[in-house]
Amino acid sequence: MRHDRPVNASESLLRVATVGGAQGLRGEVRLAVHTDDPQTRLAPGTSLQTEPAAAGPLTIADLSHRSKHWYVRFEGVTDRTAAEEMRGVVLLAEPLTDVEEDAWYPHELSGLRAETPDGETLGEIEGIRHLPAQDVLILREHSGERTLVPFVRAIVPTVDVAGGRVIIDAPLGLLAGSDVPDDAEPGQGEDR
């Protein structure tokens, strides 16, 4: 699953990272990375658009990974003061052309019709949320309820972006409108 997503009016640009605080005195900043491939997307020499646009474009001078965090220096940013002024700037890039199978950008999932395996319409996918354990789809059911659906093949066996739909094979009790049978074991179907 790709984590980068469009963020501005130019829906073709994807968010790949957000600039955090300055590190050290020579203009290095920590990044909150929003892409599955930071080494390619943030490679030295790469020029990125920014949000706000007035902050860029920015060119990566150096990239490093230390203690589970990514750090960059940008060309022309040589001191801590200049680096601190960049806090909150979003780095944007064009979508990759070699998209792997079973990988979707979040903007491709938003708005898809959700159906059961039998073709019954459940509602519409509003987006995706990246939780520590797994990604979940945000389903707006016909009743207006929002349900978090684990984005795993056992529950979401089909994503048909071209057809405008996803198939959700929900276990009993997952959806707001489903009932848990009286003979269900305690705790089954109670958590969302």
Residue 89 in contact with residue 51, Cβ under 8 Å? yes
pLDDT band, very low/low/confident/very high, at 140 (cuts 50, 70, 90): very high
Q: Report if pTM > 0.75.
A: no
Q: At residue 87, does pLDDT exceed 90?
A: yes
CA-CA-CA-CA torsion for 102, 164, 153, 32, nearest 10 degrees? 60
> Which tens digits make up the pLDDT trace of 102-133?
566 677 788 999 999 999 999 999 988 877 67
Tell me if the domain spanning 14-93 has CATH number 1.10.3720.10.
no
> Could you state, in order of their start, the residue ranges of all structural domains in the chain?
14-93, 106-167
How far are the Cα atoms of 32, 116, 124, 159, 162 from residue 152, in angstroms, in the given order? 25, 15, 17, 11, 20
CATH superfamily of 106-167: PRC-barrel domain (2.30.30.240)
> Which tens digits make up the pLDDT trace of 95-106?
766 555 556 667
> Which tens digits make up the pLDDT trace of 25-79?
888 999 988 877 888 889 999 999 998 999 889 999 999 999 889 999 999 999 9
Residue 128 in contact with residue 151, Cβ under 8 Å? yes
